Amino acid sequence: MTSVAEDAPAAKSAGREVAETLKTVAGGLAIALVLRVLLFEPFTIPSASMEPGLLTGDYVVTSKWDYGWSRHSIPLSPPLWRGRILFHSPQRGDVVVFKLPRDEAITYVKRIIGLPGDRVQVKGGTVFVNDRPIVRTPAGQADDPDQPGLVVRQERETRADGHPYITFDEGAGHDGDDTGVYVVPADHYFMMGDNRDNSLDSRWPKAMGVGYVPAENIIGKARFVMLSWREGASILKPWTWGKLRPSRFFRGVD
C-alpha cells in the first residue's frame, strides 16, 4: 500500500513535468508568432481573381519584410500604431496580400498596377499608367481552371523589373474593360487581378469593390505557392490526397 508521504514526491514530479511541457509549448508558440509577424505568413487563395498565376486552393507564403510592418502584420490587426515601420515602397507589378479597406477582417491578394500619384485607366481591356499602355502580347488560349468549358485569351504583360506574367481575358464588353481615369492618392495603391474579367478590384469604388488601398493595409509580398489542392482536399486527410496539385508545390509567384 502506497502512503500519502510516498505519493507527494510523485505528484510534485508530475507537476514539474506538466509545467516544463507548458513552458516548451508556450516558447514554441511565441517563436512561431514572432516568425509570423516579422518574416512569413501563409494564406489560402479563396477565389479565381488571380488566375492563371494563382489558383483557388493555392496555399501562398507571404514575406513581411519587403515593405516594412504595420499593425496588419500582427494577427487580428491590433490598433497599436498607424502607418508603417521601416517602410519600403512596393513596386508596380508586385503581387501583394492586403486587408480590404471596407472590411479589414477580409484579406485579398492582387497585383499592384498604380503607385501613389499615378494616373490609371483601362481602355479596351488594355491598362494605361500615366498615359502609357502596359504592353500585352498574345500568348494563346487556355481553359479557365475555375470555369470548365470557358476558353480565355492569355496575354503576357511585364512587371517594372522586366519579369513577365500572364493575364486572362474573356473578350470585349466586360465590366472594367473601359474606365475613367483613376488618380491614385498619396500613400495608396491601385490593385487589379490578373483574371481581368473576373476580379473585383480597384476599378470599383471602396463601397462595392476594393478602391484605393492604403499603404498601411498591405500585409506583405506573395512569394511562392507552398501547397495547392482542389476543393475538398486537405493535407490532414490522406483519403483526399488525390485532389492535391503537387505540380504547384513550391512554385514561385510571378
Which residue is it, cell 499615378? Answer: 118
Residue 20 lies in a domain: no
Q: Give the sign of the dihedral formed by CA 217, CA 77, CA 200, CA 64.
A: positive
CB 179 within 8 A of CB 188: no
Residue 17 lies in a domain: no
pLDDT the model gives residue 7: 59
Q: CA-to-CA distance for 214 and 202, rounded, in angstroms?
A: 12
Residues of the chain predicted below pLDDT 50? 1-2, 4
C-beta neighbour count of 177 within 10 angstroms = 18
pLDDT the model gives residue 28: 56
CB 152 within 8 A of CB 145: no
Q: CA-to-CA distance for 96 and 252, rounded, in angstroms?
A: 13
**Following CA atoms 69, 182, 196, 254 in sequence, which dihedral angle do they give, to the nearest 10 degrees?**
-40
Q: CA-to-CA distance for 225 and 67, rounded, in angstroms?
A: 20
pLDDT the model gives residue 81: 92
Q: Any idea what the CATH number is for the domain that residue 205 is in?
A: 2.10.109.10
Residue 26 lies in a domain: no
For residue 157, which of 178, 138, 141, 172 has the smallest C-alpha distance?
A: 138
Residue 19 lies in a domain: no
Give 118: exposed, middle or buried? Use CB within 10 Å, 0-12, 13-18, 19+: middle
Provide the annotated active-site residues.
49, 110
pLDDT the model gives residue 27: 56
pTM beyond 0.95: no
Residue 203 lies in a domain: yes
| Residues spanned by the domain of 157 | 35-252
pLDDT the model gives residue 236: 75
Domain count, the chain: 1
Q: CA-to-CA distance for 10 and 7, rounded, in angstroms?
A: 5
**Following CA atoms 97, 193, 115, 181 in sequence, which dihedral angle do they give, to the nearest 10 degrees?**
-150
Residue 2 lies in a domain: no
HSE (side-chain half, CA atoms, 13 Å) at 21: 6
pLDDT the model gives residue 75: 86
C-beta neighbour count of 7 within 10 angstroms = 10
DSSP characters for 44-73? E--SSTTTTTS-TTEEEEEESGGG-B-GGG
Residue 137 lies in a domain: yes
Residue 58 lies in a domain: yes
